[in-house]
């Protein structure tokens, strides 16, 4: 091979060696916008909920809504609202004919065997200092019993509610869930001393 051929071949390889990477880099840059369009979006930074308002009677009002906002009671977890008439009818059907003979404590039921809320979370959102109104929470009826969602937990009535309470207590009364002796109970601040057995689940 002549010296001229060797130099020409070398120059050709040198030229191709510099053009190919430049072409590949340009090709990658053109492909990037398409790839970025298909990337899942980064999750937005978590926002901390606004502080919950204080009730004048002491304790913290919970339930995830402000007292001045419209009620969201009767909303099924699927987002399908139950009509106010359906909610009222469900509560009427779950009323005791005779509270004294129809309710039972967890001890009488053989003990509470359901989900236990972790103690640190319980202290933050449950007990007599943390009350709410059932009508402002997501609510369904399971087997004729009211079931509402509070602080991420589903709370289901095991007892009927007392026949001595007004028909709209779930709309107007402040209630709270507490663990007493042998299980979880719902208490109504307007009717102290009466405990409705409830279960807690996710």
DSSP 77-116: TTS-BPPHHHHHHHHHHTB-S-HHHH---TTTTT---S--
pLDDT at 90: 83
33 in a structural domain: no
Task: For residue range 132-147, list pLDDT tens digits in order.
Answer: 999 999 998 888 889 9
Confidence of residue 63 (pLDDT cuts 50, 70, 90): very low
* Predicted TM-score (pTM) of this structure: 0.61
User: How is the beta sheet containing 145-150 ordered, strand by strand?
Assistant: 139-142, 145-150, 153-157, 195-201, 183-188, 175-180
- Looking at per-residue confidence, does 62 or 112 come out higher? 112
pLDDT tens digits, 111-139: 999 999 999 999 999 999 999 999 999 99
Of 61-65, 117-121, 149-153, 184-188, the least confident? 61-65
Within a domain: 54: no
Give the pLDDT confidence score for residue 7 in this predicted structure. 66
Q: For residue 135, tell me if it sits in a domain.
A: yes
9: in domain: no
pLDDT of residue 28: 52
Cα 49 to Cα 184: distance, rounded to the nearest angstrom? 26
Overall number of domains in the chain: 1
Q: Which domain holds residue 116?
A: 69-201
């Amino acid at each position: 091979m002549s010296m001229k051929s060797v130099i020409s071949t070398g120059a050709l390889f040198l030229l191709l060696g510099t053009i190919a990477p430049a072409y590949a880099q340009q090709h990658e840059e053109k492909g990037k916008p398409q790839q970025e369009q298909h990337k899942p979006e980064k999750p937005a930074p978590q926002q901390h909920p606004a502080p919950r308002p204080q009730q004048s009677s002491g304790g913290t009002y919970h339930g995830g809504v402000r007292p001045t906002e419209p009620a969201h009671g009767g909303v099924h977890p699927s987002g399908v609202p139950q009509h106010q008439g359906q909610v009222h009818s469900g509560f009427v059907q779950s009323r005791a004919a005779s509270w004294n003979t129809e309710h039972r404590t967890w001890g009488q039921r053989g003990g509470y065997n359901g989900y236990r809320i972790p103690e640190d979370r319980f202290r933050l959102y449950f007990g007599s200092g943390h009350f709410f109104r059932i009508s402002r929470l997501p609510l369904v009826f399971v087997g004729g019993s009211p079931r509402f969602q509070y602080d991420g937990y589903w709370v289901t009535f095991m007892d009927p509610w007392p026949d001595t309470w007004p028909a709209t207590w779930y709309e107007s009364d402040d209630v709270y869930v507490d663990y007493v002796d042998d299980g979880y109970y719902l208490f109504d601040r307007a009717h102290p001393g009466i405990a409705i057995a409830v279960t807690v689940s996710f």
